[in-house]
Chain A
Amino acid sequence: MALLETSKYSQGSVFGNVNPDLASERQTASFCVEKLTALLDGGAEQTRIRRAVVEAIQSDPVFSSENQYFQTQNERYEAAVRKAVHLQKKMHEMGWTENGPEYKYIYRALSGDVAFLLHRVFMRSISVLGSDKQIAKWIPLATQLRLIGSYAQTELGHGTYLQGLETTAIFDIATQEFILNTPKISAMKWWPGDMGRSATHTVVFAQLYIHGKCYGIHPFIVQIRSLQDHSLCPGITAGDIGPKMNFEAIDNGYLMLKNVRIPRENMLSKFCEVRPDGTYVRQGSQKINYFTMTAVRISLISDEVLTPLMKACTIAIRYSVVRRQSKLKPGEQEAKILDYQTQQEKLLPQLAAAYAFHFINNYLQELFDRGYREIQRKNFDMLPELHALSSGFKAVITHQGTAAVEICLRACGGHGYSLLSGLPSLYTKILASCIYEGENTILLLQTARFLIKCFMAASAGQPVPPSVTYLAAVKPGKCPAKNKSDFLSPDIYTEAYQHVAVRLISSTAAKLQDLIQSGAKKYDAWNQCTVQLVQAAKAHCHYITVKNFAETVEKLETKAGIQRIMKHLCDLFALHGIFSNTGAFLHDGYISAAQMDMVTASYLDLLAVIRKDAVPLVDAFDFTDKSLNSALGSYDGQVYQRLYEWAQKSPTNKMSPAYERYLKPLLHNALSKL
């Protein structure tokens, strides 16, 4: 089959041939890799554009990530600034624009190590929250990078709970200015990217006070550094918050404001305005704000979760067919570690999850686009559903993606622990996504609130949004499967997932009502049910993911073996979920003990089936070696040579002063007196 097409594209090995253990995996693929890549990209034309962007960027030495693992935080930061500046030039040269088809691939090609990402959030917040006049003033300046923006929301003491922010902006009618202050240490802005060293301006979220009355949180444009010499403006204290688990390239910063005065016009005033006389005016619908959050949560899934998850799978699976360890059969060669059932059970469900999340991301994207069109027609009906789904899926996908990358890391044994494997960096980066843009537990509780509300409505016979109509059709029943192959039927397992979701949502709703009826305060009842509510929200998302995967497979073309392999992955994803949560399915006897043994048997059988296509399935993700930046995961599988070569470049292999200073005296005389 047309299996070697990707290798034409992937750069040749610096070590000569592809490792035969990896090459043989590619000979036996049951499907066409290139076709699957096109499916993932959304068409062959998209694949072509993506590859062109990746090629243009990765062939430019300024964007090189070589030696990144050896650099200090200062060096990484400097490289990120250099790349960001160069990117402006590159885009101009290549004729790429922000609205062009190439744009979305640039970030992927750069692997994220680039400064001024918050500058984009700064611009977006002005576009969304600013008046037409403000947009006309600031956006051209920002587009030309005449100023560098940041976005200062989170404080030391407050993150997800925005109403709790403590920064103040007091309106002074006499001078027509706002006076911004950080009244206490916990009110200091903390974490905003690009703010520690780079930004000249930032959007500060602060409690607005007029005539001593608090009007809640509002956004203000504040200049923090001089445009001449980059020194801090009067009243500003700002700096870098210090080393983190990752994002060495980003100068996450702190900001303290002391009687900083800004003109009245610097409050972003699309929705709320303070008139010169101090009158506070609300205008338009704030619902659009929700929509922005939704947009951010959905957009991060692709770049911040799917990409690292797919990279981690690529590295771990390729390495697992190169690494041989111990003998499966006496007298034979040592076995590839991917031939061990336990290794398959670690990695293949993660691979299936990567595909499942890719397809659910498409689903969310479509839903979002539809919602966007509706909102432009001033129809906000879809907002609650969109908000609930984006919150829940952000939480579920970031959490599972993070767990999956960690499994990949540990599945590579000792070598996974080396930074040169690429896996530690992927892990520390993806795990931040569990926290930013809304802490996951809180997001799941928001989804749960929506589900409980819809369940009550459905029970009362009222209409509910499409994704939750299943809540209306509560049917007790039992799983009809009679043998293990029945569990390869999407209807059977999708029903099972639906059943569990309904059971968890309805039983939690019932418990909430019980508590309230027995006299508990509403908030108390809610807090007492939160553990269950979180489980219910997860079950809902899991069900939608399985259902969507099954429906997607149904619609795929049967040619080139694509549908068959995707069906296997869908089955694996679904059965792995049951296998890892047996209790939820056994609880009310929907699946019996004997049926559960069938699930396990079917699941374990699938591992051996997908094992054969594991390498082609990761090849289809189509990452270049430069993108992976991994000594273990390169296309040619020359793992050990690469590890050895890269290690020798480590700065620790230059003569260290430690020998002269400490070791020499130690070895020579320090202890002779003892």
Chain B
Amino acid sequence: MTMNADLRRERAAATFQPLLLTHILDGGPERTRRRKEIEALVLNDPDFQHEDLNFLSRSQRYEQAIRKSSLMVMKLREYGIADPEEIFWFKSFVHRGRPEPLDLHLGMFLPTLLTQATPEQQDRFFMPAWNLEIIGTYAQTEMGHGTHLRGLETTATYDPATQEFILNSPTVTSIKWWPGGLGKTSNHAIVLAQLYTQGQCKGLHAFIVPIRQLGTHEPLPGITVGDIGPKFGYDEMDNGYLKMDNFRIPRENMLMKYAQVEPDGTYVKPVSDKLTYGTMVFIRSLIVGDSARSLSRACTIAIRYSAVRHQSELKPGEPEPQILDYQTQQYKLFPLLATAYAFHFVGAYIKDTYHRISGDINEGDLSELPELHALTAGLKAFTSWTANAGIEECRMACGGHGYSRCSGIPDIYVTFTPSCTYEGENTVMMLQTARFLVKSYTQVSSGQRVTGMVSYLNDLSRQRIQPQHVAARTVTVRINDPVSLVEAYKARAARLVEAAAKNLQAELNHRKSKEDAWNRTSVDLVRASEAHCHYVVVKLFAAKLSEVSNAAVRAVLTDLCLLYALFGISKNTGDFLQAGILTSAQITQVNQHVKELLAVIRPNAVALVDSFDFHDVHLGSVLGRYDGNVYENMFEWAKKSPLNKTQVHESFHKHLKPMQAKL
């Protein structure tokens, strides 16, 4: 089929070469080439083809996923793909960006063995797990507890007589709930439980627990295990439950690289627990990247479709315009497009920083870890919230057809939305960042200087010498200059951190309890963290511009950066007005400039989503097809729907006909 004429015209009119931008997103032309090589390897492989998942039941989707996962593991080894990023690409092409039942085995079980098992334990478990004789999962979350780990209730009581741990789920709330791959797939689990030895609770520790019989795959005696039932998304994942009744495992099954229980029950404390920070930082940085990718996919679909869809009239007597020509449609989509780019750069920054700092960590230098930890917690929340809402806006911008599963956006949404909850619930994450911000503010107040992303707080102490209200501070903001806008965001963050810290202090003066004061300030604290994260995103986006050598690409990225920054102001005008950072007249100019930028970006909109370079198979959307032949393919897609399997549905004979006969 030929390309839709509208899309062809859009692509011809772009002012830059999308491929150059793709290289920037991938981190260089060589990496783009390699990514596409791996993509081709998967997409041309008949073993990885299957029916449209939208038409399959949950059980069937699970089956397809398991089939592909097992093939994937074999082929990865066959092709000798071992670089983590390349494995990630391969996996996401195989599973088209969806989760799969071996995720926890590959992503948590194996790495935990590597980092927390003793050499003896590695000998026993690692190779069988590597060869998938052992399939494991990571059972942490319980029905009654998620983010608050200390509250977990599962117990592991040491019995020196037999040198075993006795595992129990003492309450309904202590049943392990949600771990992926637990419901049907795994035969082992790393279980987090409160360790009791010599009558004392020693806190949470990890244990390797066999749960199913090798050979028959039946649950072992004392183990109750199953699938937790249907969810919003994650159809291919067997999230499971696990209940243990006096289930005994040998002493050697506690992961003992750090903490240990000796045969007589003596507990040996670990040296440091800060190292687990590193893993959390890493996983949260992946979520930032995932926010960028998921939002990019949704933008690709919505913008291409908006260029293909014609509706209503703009000028009397003329043909119906592309809906992308309506200001309201541009206002919905282009700020999201700019956001997707911003988050790509933030994701890349955090990943690089993590790799840089993890070198230091290995050499025992943990000094930069607290800030990185605070930053990733906040950015994980900030980007996942924004992307979550953005995906929905993209779907809404596609009108009725966005609601059909053929648009692909419902699937992107349901797959993405749990990232607001997992790996740390977002509000809790924001409050962790706030704790760091308040601590930094307190340091500044007591005359110390702080460094890194919070160094703007140093300026506050200088300003406080002047007897003015903080709101009277003025920053000269040039609304056409990204660098100047970074300053405006900086001033807003400083103002909100200061306000939250002062409110916290005021509460502390009124009340006895620190916790109570913190709770009564938490709405302010979350706002401060959001402002801080927003500043970081604008700053990183603006900084990226100078790294771009191609003038045409730099020009279009500058437009996006300005749009991102100005749109953020126009959505939060109150903060900038109240702090006196911008005047009402400037706000009016900002609002006007946002609309001008929409018109400037309009001719490049399709090229900007093409640059994300999602293959149609990966995109999984009839509306977002590269060739734009939307309507024909919607019809083709619908004909495959399960309700259309027979011409006359069986319920006609069962219900309708008997009723009509009776009347």
Task: List the interface of chain A (C-beta within 8 A of B).
Answer: 69-70, 72-74, 77-78, 81-82, 85, 88, 144-146, 148, 154, 156-161, 164, 185-186, 188, 190-191, 196-198, 227, 229-232, 239-245, 251, 254, 323-330, 334, 339-343, 345-346, 406, 410, 413-420, 424, 428, 431-432, 434-436, 439, 441-442, 445, 521, 523-524, 527-528, 530-532, 534, 581-589, 593, 596, 600, 604, 640-641, 643-644, 646-653, 656-659, 661-668, 670-672, 674
Q: Provide the residues of chain B in CB contact with A330, threshold 8 Å.
A: 515
- CB–CB B650/A414 < 8 A: no
Residue of B nearest to A232 (CB): B647
Q: List 28 A-B contacts (CB under 8 A).
A: A77-B651, A186-B631, A254-B635, A325-B148, A341-B519, A413-B425, A414-B146, A414-B422, A419-B232, A431-B392, A432-B403, A445-B328, A527-B326, A532-B591, A583-B572, A587-B573, A587-B577, A593-B579, A596-B574, A640-B173, A644-B143, A644-B241, A647-B226, A650-B229, A653-B226, A657-B63, A667-B217, A671-B73
Taken together as a complex, chains A and B put the C-alpha atoms of A327 and B151 apart, in Å, by 9
Q: Provide the residues of chain B in CB contact with A649, threshold 8 Å.
A: 229
- CB–CB B63/A158 < 8 A: no
Q: Which residues 368-409 in B have Cβ within 8 Å of A in the complex?
A: 392, 396, 399-400, 402-406
- CB–CB B148/A419 < 8 A: no
Taken together as a complex, chains A and B put the C-alpha atoms of A88 and B148 apart, in Å, by 52
Taken together as a complex, chains A and B put the C-alpha atoms of A593 and B406 apart, in Å, by 48
Q: Please encode chain B, from 570 to 596, with 1 for each CB lying within 8 Å of some chain A CB and 0 for all others.
A: 001111111110001001000100010
Nearest CB of chain B from residue A642's CB, rounded to whole Å: 10
Question: Given that A185-B631, A671-B132 are contacting pairs, would A244 and B523 also be in contact in the complex, using a CB cutoff of 8 Å?
Answer: no
Question: Given that A342-B526, A582-B575 are contacting pairs, would A145 and B663 also be in contact in the complex, using a CB cutoff of 8 Å?
Answer: yes
Does B184 interact with chain A (Cβ within 8 Å)?
yes
Q: Provide the residues of chain B in CB contact with A327, threshold 8 Å.
A: 515
- CB–CB A659/B217 < 8 A: yes
Q: Provide the residues of chain A in CB contact with B651, threshold 8 Å.
A: 77-78, 81-82, 197
Q: Provide the residues of chain A in CB contact with B312, threshold 8 Å.
A: 160-161, 164, 442
Residue of B nearest to A582 (CB): B574
- CB–CB B420/A586 < 8 A: no
Taken together as a complex, chains A and B put the C-alpha atoms of A245 and B403 apart, in Å, by 6
Does B249 interact with chain A (Cβ within 8 Å)?
no
Question: Given that A185-B631, A531-B327, A531-B328 are contacting pairs, would A342 and B232 also be in contact in the complex, using a CB cutoff of 8 Å?
Answer: no
Does B509 interact with chain A (Cβ within 8 Å)?
no
- CB–CB A148/B400 < 8 A: no
Q: Provide the residues of chain A in CB contact with B141, threshold 8 Å.
A: 414
| A185-B631, A663-B66 given; 4 more Cβ-contact pairs under 8 Å | A78-B655, A327-B515, A419-B229, A647-B228
- CB–CB A345/B172 < 8 A: no
- CB–CB B427/A342 < 8 A: yes
Q: Provide the residues of chain A in CB contact with B650, threshold 8 Å.
A: 78
Q: Which residues 29-83 in B have Cβ within 8 Å of A in the complex?
A: 54-55, 57-59, 62-63, 66-67, 70, 73-74, 77
Taken together as a complex, chains A and B put the C-alpha atoms of A198 and B659 apart, in Å, by 13
Nearest CB of chain A from residue B490's CB, rounded to whole Å: 19
- Taking a contact as CB atoms closer than 8 A, the residue among A334, A424, A521 that contacts B315 in the complex is A521
Q: Provide the residues of chain A in CB contact with B326, threshold 8 Å.
A: 527, 530
Taken together as a complex, chains A and B put the C-alpha atoms of A587 and B577 apart, in Å, by 7
Does B634 interact with chain A (Cβ within 8 Å)?
yes
Nearest CB of chain B from residue A341's CB, rounded to whole Å: 5
- CB–CB B656/A81 < 8 A: yes
- CB–CB A586/B403 < 8 A: no
Taken together as a complex, chains A and B put the C-alpha atoms of A386 and B523 apart, in Å, by 39
Does B185 interact with chain A (Cβ within 8 Å)?
yes
Residue of A nearest to B310 (CB): A157
Does B214 interact with chain A (Cβ within 8 Å)?
yes
Taken together as a complex, chains A and B put the C-alpha atoms of A156 and B74 apart, in Å, by 44
- CB–CB B58/A652 < 8 A: yes
- CB–CB A656/B526 < 8 A: no
Question: Given that A435-B400, A439-B399, A581-B574 are contacting pairs, would A241 and B74 also be in contact in the complex, using a CB cutoff of 8 Å?
Answer: no
* B interface secondary structure, majority: helix
Q: Provide the residues of chain B in CB contact with A156, threshold 8 Å.
A: 631, 634-635
Interface centre among A73, A230, A646 (most CB of B within 10 A): A230
Q: Provide the residues of chain A in CB contact with B217, threshold 8 Å.
A: 659, 663-664, 667
Nearest CB of chain B from residue A496's CB, rounded to whole Å: 13
Task: List the interface of chain B (C-beta within 8 A of A).
Answer: 54-55, 57-59, 62-63, 66-67, 70, 73-74, 77, 131-133, 135, 141, 143-148, 151, 172-173, 175, 177-178, 183-185, 187, 214-215, 217, 226-233, 238, 241, 309-316, 320, 326-328, 331-332, 392, 396, 399-400, 402-406, 410, 414, 417-418, 420-422, 425, 427, 431, 471, 513, 515-516, 519-524, 526, 572-580, 584, 587, 591, 595, 631-632, 634-635, 637-644, 647-652, 654-657, 659-660, 663
Q: Provide the residues of chain A in CB contact with B427, threshold 8 Å.
A: 342-343, 346
* A interface secondary structure, majority: helix
Taken together as a complex, chains A and B put the C-alpha atoms of A159 and B320 apart, in Å, by 13
Taken together as a complex, chains A and B put the C-alpha atoms of A445 and B410 apart, in Å, by 27
Nearest CB of chain A from residue B284's CB, rounded to whole Å: 17
Q: Provide the residues of chain A in CB contact with B516, threshold 8 Å.
A: 328-329
Question: Given that A435-B400, A658-B62 are contacting pairs, would A243 and B405 also be in contact in the complex, using a CB cutoff of 8 Å?
Answer: yes
Nearest CB of chain A from residue B633's CB, rounded to whole Å: 10
- CB–CB B659/A243 < 8 A: no
Interface centre among B175, B422, B575, B634 (most CB of A within 10 A): B634
- Taking a contact as CB atoms closer than 8 A, the residue among B132, B241, B414, B418 that contacts A647 in the complex is B241
- Top 9 closest A-B pairs, CB basis? A582-B574, A583-B573, A240-B643, A242-B641, A650-B229, A583-B574, A652-B227, A424-B232, A161-B312
Taken together as a complex, chains A and B put the C-alpha atoms of A339 and B516 apart, in Å, by 10
Question: Given that A231-B647, A528-B327 are contacting pairs, would A650 and B574 also be in contact in the complex, using a CB cutoff of 8 Å?
Answer: no
Residue of B nearest to A650 (CB): B229
Nearest CB of chain B from residue A12's CB, rounded to whole Å: 20
Nearest CB of chain B from residue A287's CB, rounded to whole Å: 22
Residue of B nearest to A78 (CB): B651
- CB–CB A74/B642 < 8 A: yes
Question: Given that A188-B635, A671-B74 are contacting pairs, would A69 and B229 also be in contact in the complex, using a CB cutoff of 8 Å?
Answer: yes
Interface centre among B312, B431, B572 (most CB of A within 10 A): B312
- CB–CB B311/A158 < 8 A: yes
Taken together as a complex, chains A and B put the C-alpha atoms of A186 and B628 apart, in Å, by 13
- Taking a contact as CB atoms closer than 8 A, the residue among B143, B314, B578 that contacts A596 in the complex is B578
- CB–CB B238/A652 < 8 A: yes
- CB–CB A74/B643 < 8 A: yes
Q: Provide the residues of chain A in CB contact with B77, threshold 8 Å.
A: 674
Residue of B nearest to A79 (CB): B651
- CB–CB B228/A417 < 8 A: no
Taken together as a complex, chains A and B put the C-alpha atoms of A646 and B172 apart, in Å, by 13
Q: Provide the residues of chain B in CB contact with A343, threshold 8 Å.
A: 427
Taken together as a complex, chains A and B put the C-alpha atoms of A636 and B467 apart, in Å, by 57
Q: Provide the residues of chain A in CB contact with B648, threshold 8 Å.
A: 229-231
Residue of B nearest to A583 (CB): B573
- CB–CB A667/B587 < 8 A: no
Interface centre among B396, B418, B521 (most CB of A within 10 A): B396
- CB–CB A593/B471 < 8 A: yes
- CB–CB B59/A651 < 8 A: yes
Taken together as a complex, chains A and B put the C-alpha atoms of A341 and B525 apart, in Å, by 11
Nearest CB of chain A from residue B496's CB, rounded to whole Å: 12
Q: Provide the residues of chain A in CB contact with B523, threshold 8 Å.
A: 341-342, 345, 604
Q: Provide the residues of chain B in CB contact with A428, threshold 8 Å.
A: 410
Q: Provide the residues of chain B in CB contact with A188, threshold 8 Å.
A: 631, 635
Taken together as a complex, chains A and B put the C-alpha atoms of A97 and B230 apart, in Å, by 38
- Taking a contact as CB atoms closer than 8 A, the residue among A88, A239, A445, A583 that contacts B639 in the complex is A239
Nearest CB of chain B from residue A577's CB, rounded to whole Å: 12
Residue of B nearest to A667 (CB): B133
Residue of B nearest to A436 (CB): B400
- CB–CB A658/B63 < 8 A: yes
Taken together as a complex, chains A and B put the C-alpha atoms of A588 and B663 apart, in Å, by 68
Q: Provide the residues of chain B in CB contact with A640, threshold 8 Å.
A: 143-144, 172-173, 175
- CB–CB B400/A191 < 8 A: yes
Taken together as a complex, chains A and B put the C-alpha atoms of A216 and B229 apart, in Å, by 51
